Structure 1
Amino acid sequence: MFTGIVEELGEVVSLEPAGTAGEAVLLTVRGPLVSSDAGHGDSIAVNGVCLTVVGRGEGTFTADVMKESLDRSSLGSLAPGSPVNLERATPADGRLGGHIVQGHVDGTARLLSRNPGDNWDVLRFSLPAELSRYVVEKGSITVDGTSLTVSAVSEPGATEEFFEVSLIPETLRATTLGALTTGATVNLEVDVVAKYVERIAAVSAAERA
């Protein structure tokens, strides 16, 4: 489990084809902080995707990325030199500084616009229709592994559904979101609590029917 509090801004070193059909990749990332105590089998979130460490070098770690992860996230578009948000798994006695994040990407979104301000930037992202019911104003959402509070959301049934987040200078400095350009694709993970509530409500309704 993660909290969506990015520990380090890392950099992709290489992506090497793996597997018999070359559908998977072996991803090597430079991140001196998160790799400093990484062991084989440890979990590190890369742009919000939970990956398993299979090797470690001097200030780097390597992880297998399977086709499912490449298809459902933006990791397939990475290249050597790409910046990435990194976070180690949260220890049981650690602080929950953001919100409960599993590292299981629910979908992707595009940056529609960014409005710079004196003390924060407002970023507007597209919102996939299948995820819109889980996103509410003042609720939590994970964007490229960063725990954020939704500052605005489109009305249900809008022609183009979207959500907005307001980013403080520290978030702009310490994550990839500071340099994100319009049209860029990001990974989304909605609040898992909302999905559990929906499932429990659906089962209860079915039992009463």
Structure 2
Amino acid sequence: MRKTLYPNHPHENAAIRTAAGSKGRLKQNQSGMTLVEVLVAMFVLAVGVLALLATQLRTVSSVREAESQTVVAQAVQNLMEGMQINPTLSAASGETGWVNKSYDAYNKYIGNSVRTIAGTTTDTGNNPTSFSKSQLADEQIQRFENTLRTALPNAGVRYVICRGADEMEIDSNGNVDAKCTGGPLMVKVLWQVDSEQANAASAVKSNGSNIVYTYQARVPD
């Protein structure tokens, strides 16, 4: 039996209005993101990702620089320790009982001449059961050069052992001033890295497209 709607029936009209109002509200609340909003969200996400990548690249570059500086410092320290166990001793004048210590075995490496490390690893080819002072000095210098060559394969590495506390400098033409002006005996190292692969903020100087780093230490008396 079919149910007849009475237009004047209060309960029937209230139910119809309630159902109609609910459907209207559901349709009104159902809304999605527009294309412009999606594009803006993607742009913000891309900017955040690029900033994160840039930070990561700077972090990696800083870690590499710290590692190279640590290796150079360790190589210099090892060389100086080798020099200390291979000195030339002579009696001091008078009857003081003191002895003079020098590094005559390293005379051909000590001076104003800046040495450039390049090419492949070198080897003396000798394995004697005992070394003379000069042979031990040669072996230590070659180990020092090989360490720097391995640690900084793509850098122009230069070093000098001389007297002078000022840091080495390099001009735009690649000429190096060792600053050997007298004073304490120093081991000085200078190397260059392409500016695109380095964090310029931590470098001491720049030379064209290269970033210049230096390290030096005093040989104990």
- Please state which band the TM-score falls in when normalised by the shorter chain: under 0.3
Give the strand-richer structure, 1 or 2: 1
Give the helix-richer structure, 1 or 2: 2
What TM-score, normalized by structure 2, do the two folds share?
A: 0.24
What TM-score, normalized by structure 1, do the two folds share?
A: 0.25
Q: Which of the two has higher C-alpha Rg?
A: 2
Larger relative contact order, structure 1 or 2 (CA cutoff 8 Å, min sep 6) = 1
